[in-house]
Structure 1
Amino acid sequence: MASKFIALPKGVSEKTFEAAIAEFRSILGQDSVLVTAEQLAPYIKTMMPVPDADHTPSAALQATTVEQIQKIVAVCNKYTVPIWMISTGRNFGYGSAAPAERGQVVLDLKRMNRILEVDPDLCFALVEPGVTYKQLYDYIQEHKYPLWLSCPAPSAIAGPTGNTLDRGVGYTPYGEHFLFACGMEVVLANGEVLRTGMGSLPKSNTWQVFKWGYGPYLDGIFTQSNYGIVTKFGFWLMPAPPAFKPFVIQYENEDDIVEIVETIRPLRISGVIPNAIVIAHALYEAPTKAKRSDYVTGTGAITDDAVRQIMKDHKLGAWNVYAALYGTQEQIDVNWKIVTDSFSKSGKAKILTEQEAADDPAFQYRAALMRGDMTLKEFSLYNWRGGGGSMWFAPVSQARGSETLKQMAMTKRILGKYGLDYSGEFIVGMRDMHHIVDVLYDKTDPAMTKAAYQCFDELLTEFSNEGYGTYRVNTAFMDKVAHTYGPVQRHVHKTLKEALDPNGILAPGKSGIR
C-alpha cells in the first residue's frame, strides 16, 4: 500500500509518524505542517552529486515562536522523530535546505524573522534566525544608523544566524563572523531555553556586549553542531567609517601567488589592511563577464590557453587581489602608501583603485561586499557551466605563499583528472587562508555527476592526508570530513550529543555527529 508520505524518518513507522504529524498540526496549524511532494519541493533539490532522494524530508514544520519549538521537540522526543533545522534555508553548495538524511523533518525557522534590537551606540544587533542580511540592511538604512554589516557573498538572501552558525565569513574588517557573535538563545533537546553568556543573568543588559559570561564558554558548541536550536542571535556591527577605499591588484602569472601572500601576510597581521583579503583566480571572476561555452566546448577541463584568452578579453589577472582601507582619510592616505610600496617592489603588480576599475562588474560586486552592501553577483558562478551542480571545497592553510601554491597545484591536478575546472579563491585572514573552490558540474549529466562525486571525495582524501583540514562541507560528505579530525574529537562530540540530546532528535548527522 502506498504511503501517505513521500518519505519516513529512519526507524519510525507510518502509523507513528502519522500520530506525530497530528500533534505537529495541533501546535502549528494545518497550513504550517507540509507533507505533500509539491509542498516539500523547496526542501528536496540539492546541488550535490548524489540522488536528491537521499535527502528527501518526510515533512517540514514552519514555526514562528520559541514556545512552538519547545512543544515540537517534546513531540519529537515522544515519537523519536528527527528534525533538521534551517534558518533561511539557502546554503547553496553546502546542501541547500534539504536534510542530511532521508526522512528527517525540516524545522524551517524563516518565519521567525523579527529584528529584536539594533543599538547604534554600542553597535550590535539581536535577531531571530529567519532574518536575512537584506532585511537587516534595509532596517539599518531606514533608521539611518551609521552601521555596516559583514555579509557572505550571496548577501541579500542569506542570514546572519545561519551563516555564523556554520562559521561562514565576510569581507569587511568584521568578516570572521563568529568572532563578532555575542549571545545566543538556544532551545535544547529537552525543551529548556538556554541564554548563553550574560543572557543567563536575570535583568542583564550586557548580553550583546560581553561575550563570556561566567564559567565555560558555551556559544561555540552550538556552531556546526546539532546540540540545540538557536532562536535568538546577537552580534556586533561595524561603525560606518568616515572613508573607504576599495582596490584590486592584478598579477599575470599563477605562480605569482607566492609573492602575493608573502606581501599580504604582514599587512594583515599588523592591521594595515583590516579586512579579509580575497585572492581570486581568473576563472572565479570570469563568470561575471562570460560563459564557459564562449571559450571551450566538449569534455575535459578548460585549457590554459583559453584561460589566457579570457584574461585578455575581460581585463583579468591570473590572480585578482581585492582589499580595502577604512578609517579617516588621513589614516587611509598613510596606509595606502604602505600598501602601494609593499606591492610595487617586484614590479609585477597592477594596482587599480575605484577610479580605474569602477565599470568592471567583478570589481563592483567585490567592492559592495567589502562595504557590507547587498549583492547576488557571485551566483554568476552557476551560469559558468550550467546544469545546477555545485559543491564548495574549503580547506584551510597557513598564510604562506608556499602553502598556497601547493594547495592550488593539488586542486588543479585532481579537478583536471575528472575534467573539471579550477574555480577558486583564497581568503586571507589574520594568519590563515580559507581556500574556497567551487566544484562546478552539470548535474543533468550522469557521467559528470559521478565524476564530480569521485573528484570531491579525492580532494578531501588527499588534502586531509597532507594535513589540510576542511572547515565546512556539504551534507553528503559530513561524515568523511568528521573522520579526518580523528577519533578523540569525534568521541567528545558524541559525548556532548548523548548528554544534551539522548534521543538523537536534533539534526542527526550534522557535522558527522549522531
Structure 2
Amino acid sequence: MSDQEFVALPEGVSAENFAKAVEAFKAVLGADNVLTTEERLTPYFKTMMPVDDSEYRMSAVVQATKVEQVQEVVKICNEYNVPVWTISTGRNFGYGTAAPSKRGTVVLDLKHMNKIIEVDRDLGTALLEPGVTYQQLFDYLQENDLPFYLSCPAPSAIAGPVGNTMDRGVGYTPYGEHFMMQCGMEVVLANGEVLRTGMGGVEGSTAWQVFKWGYGPYLDGIFTQSNFGICTKMGIWLMPKPPVFKPFSVIYDNEEDIAEIVDLFRPLRLNNIIPNSVVYASTIYEAAGIISRTKYFTGEGHTPHEVVQEIREKEGLGAWNVYAALYGTKEQVEVNWNIVKSVVEGHGKGRIVTEEEAGGTQPFQYRADLMRGHMTMQEFGLYRWRDDRGAGGGSMWFAPVTVNKGSETLDQTKLATEILNKYGFDYAGEYIVGMRDLHHIIDVLFDKSDEEETKRAYECFDELLTEFGKRGYAVYRVNNAFMDKVAGIYGQVQRDVNQTLKRALDPKGILAPGKSGIDI
C-alpha cells in the first residue's frame, strides 16, 4: 500500500511499515474489523473541539471483540512503533469524542466488547466489558427484574459505565461518584500482559467485585485518565432500588443567591439528609433543554441579561434551579422531607416544587429521571440552544473543581460569565455537589462551521483555563486540545511522576500518547 492509500500516518512510521502493521491487525481481527479507508473512518472524524478536525485524524480504527485480541493489538503496536488510542463508546462529546490526541494514531474501538458478564442480585455488583452502554445495562436490569438503580451521566443512553468511570465522570444518584463505586479492573498492559487489580489476582477469589483494595499498593486509580493500560473489564456497584424516591426542585430568582444556596444545602448533603448529588443549574443551562434561544433572541453575541430574565419569567425557570432527591423507606423520606422543607422555608427565598406539582413537565422530569438512573438524551438540547441547527456542532466542557462553599461559587460564576460574554458566548453552567466538593460544569457552545467564531471559542477556553488557574481552580477533565495545558496547571512534580510511571509501564510510548499530558 502506498502513502496515498492511508488517511494519515503515525508520526515517524513509514507507509511501508504501517501497511505491515495493518496486515497484522487483519490477521488477528479479520479484515472487516480493520478500517483504513476515508469512507469507513469518516464516522470517527468529527470532533466538537475548536480545531481543524484533520489535525486529529486517526490512521486506522481496529475493532476487538475479546481481551486476547487486545493483547495481540498492543504487541503489534510495539513491534511497529504504532501508537494506539482506546475508546469504549466514544461518546464523550464535549471532551473530544473518538479523536486521538495525536494525528495518525490508531484508534482501538472496544464497542464490540459489550458483554454484561455478571450481575449479582444479592450484592448489587456488576462485571462489565467496556462496550456496554448504560442503556444496555438498564435494559438488562429491567428484563431480569433486578432491583437496582443505575448512576449515569446526563447523556446516559449512548455512553458507557466503563468509559465514564475511567474518565472519573459523575452521576446524580447517591452512587454518583462513579470511580468510588468501581471495584476491580482487568487491564491489558503495554507489553500485552493482563493485570487484574484488587482481589482479581487471587486464583479462585469470589471477592473481586466487593473488596476494592486487595493487597499492597492500590493500583486502579493510576489507570484512570491515564495511558498506562487498557481496561477490558470493570466491576461496579449498583444502588439497591429504594422503596420511596422523592425528587424535588427549589427555584431561586436572584443570581446573587447562589452563595446562600450552596451554604444552605451543604449541611443537608454532609449529613446525608440529601444523599445524592445536588445540582444548582443556571437559567440558560435549564432553558437549553426545552427551547432554542431563537425563540427570544436572534442577535449576535451572548444573550443579553434582559432576554435571560424574560426567559425565566415566561418559561418558569429560576436564576438558579436546585435539584435533589430523597431515597429510602416511607418513614425515612418523611422525616428527611420535613427537615428539607424546614430549612428551605426558613431561609425564605426559594420555591419548592415536588414531582406531583411539576406534573411531568420539563425540565423537572428530565432531572427526576437522572436522579433515578433512567435513560435520557435531553441534555443534547444544549446543542440546539444557539440555533435549531445544533449550534454548528461546537461544544467544550469547562469543568473546574472547587470547595462546597458559597463564596467560591459567586466568584467563579462571575468570572466565567465575564470571560464567556467577552468572546460572545453564553454562560450555560451548573454546579454538581460531590459532598465537600463542587464540579462547576460549563458548556462552551459555539458554531464550528464559522471559522472566526471557532477561533474565538479556542481563545475563550484558553483564557478560562488560564484565569481560573491563576486563582487556584483547575478542571478535572478536558478535551484533547487542552490536555497538555491542564497538566501544566497541576504542576511539574505530578507531570514528572506520571512520566516515570509511563516509562516503566509503556517504554515505547504506544498507549494513547499525550493523554492527560502524559508522554515518555
Q: Cα distance, 1:290 vs. partner?
A: 1.4
Checking the alignment, whether the CA contact within 8 Å between 2:41 and 2:60 is kept in structure 1 is yes
Of 410, 413, 426, the residue aligned with 1:405 is 410
Checking the alignment, whether the CA contact within 8 Å between 1:326 and 1:332 is kept in structure 2 is yes
Matched length = 514
- 1:148-187 correspondence runs (5 A): 148-187=149-188
Residue matched to 1:68: 69
Residue matched to 2:279: 278
Distance in 2, matches of 1:465 and 1:124, equals 42
Distance in 1, matches of 2:222 and 2:469, equals 23
Q: Cα distance, 1:490 vs. partner?
A: 0.1
Residue matched to 1:444: 449
Residue matched to 2:498: 493
Matched, 1:433 2:438: yes
Superimposed CA distance per residue, residues 197-241 of structure 1 (whole angstroms, 9 cap, x where no aligned partner) = 000000000000000000000000010000000000001000000
Superimposed CA distance per residue, residues 124-174 of structure 1 (whole angstroms, 9 cap, x where no aligned partner) = 100000000000010010010111110000110000000000000000000
Aligned to 2:363, what secondary structure does the other structure show? helix
Of 370, 390, 393, the residue aligned with 1:388 is 393
Aligned to 2:407, what secondary structure does the other structure show? helix
Distance in 1, matches of 2:295 and 2:67, equals 51
Distance in 2, matches of 1:348 and 1:321, equals 12
Residue matched to 2:33: 32
Paired AA for residue 201 in structure 1:
V
Q: Cα distance, 1:92 vs. partner?
A: 0.6
C-alpha distance 2-122 of structure 1, shift in aligned 2 (>3 A): closer
Moved over 3 A (4+): none
Distance in 1, matches of 2:78 and 2:336, equals 57
- 1:193-204 correspondence runs (5 A): 193-204=194-205
Checking the alignment, whether the CA contact within 8 Å between 1:42 and 1:97 is kept in structure 2 is no
Q: Which 5+ residue runs of structure 1 have no aligned equivalent? A: none
Superimposed CA distance per residue, residues 385-438 of structure 1 (whole angstroms, 9 cap, x where no aligned partner) = 121100000000100000000000000000010000000000011100000000
Superimposed CA distance per residue, residues 177-200 of structure 1 (whole angstroms, 9 cap, x where no aligned partner) = 000100000000000000000000
Matched, 1:228 2:233: no
Distance in 2, matches of 1:201 and 1:427, equals 38
Residue matched to 1:475: 480
Paired AA for residue 335 in structure 1:
N
Checking the alignment, whether the CA contact within 8 Å between 2:63 and 2:111 is kept in structure 1 is yes
Q: Cα distance, 1:297 vs. partner?
A: 2.0
Distance in 2, matches of 1:439 and 1:390, equals 6
Distance in 1, matches of 2:461 and 2:301, equals 16
Checking the alignment, whether the CA contact within 8 Å between 2:184 and 2:196 is kept in structure 1 is yes
Checking the alignment, whether the CA contact within 8 Å between 2:283 and 2:318 is kept in structure 1 is yes
Residue matched to 1:111: 112
Paired AA for residue 132 in structure 2:
V
% identity of equivalent residues: 64
TM score, norm. by length of structure 1: 0.99
- Please, which moves more after superposition, 130-139 or 295-304? 295-304
Paired AA for residue 192 in structure 1:
E
Distance in 2, matches of 1:491 and 1:401, equals 35
Aligned to 2:231, what secondary structure does the other structure show? strand
Residue matched to 2:425: 420
Of 461, 465, 474, the residue aligned with 1:460 is 465
Checking the alignment, whether the CA contact within 8 Å between 1:284 and 1:381 is kept in structure 2 is yes
Paired AA for residue 226 in structure 2:
S
TM score, norm. by length of structure 2: 0.98
CA RMSD after TM alignment: 0.7
Checking the alignment, whether the CA contact within 8 Å between 2:403 and 2:438 is kept in structure 1 is yes
Aligned to 1:451, what secondary structure does the other structure show? helix
Distance in 2, matches of 1:183 and 1:375, equals 28
Q: Which 5+ residue runs of structure 2 have no aligned equivalent? A: none
Checking the alignment, whether the CA contact within 8 Å between 2:3 and 2:15 is kept in structure 1 is no
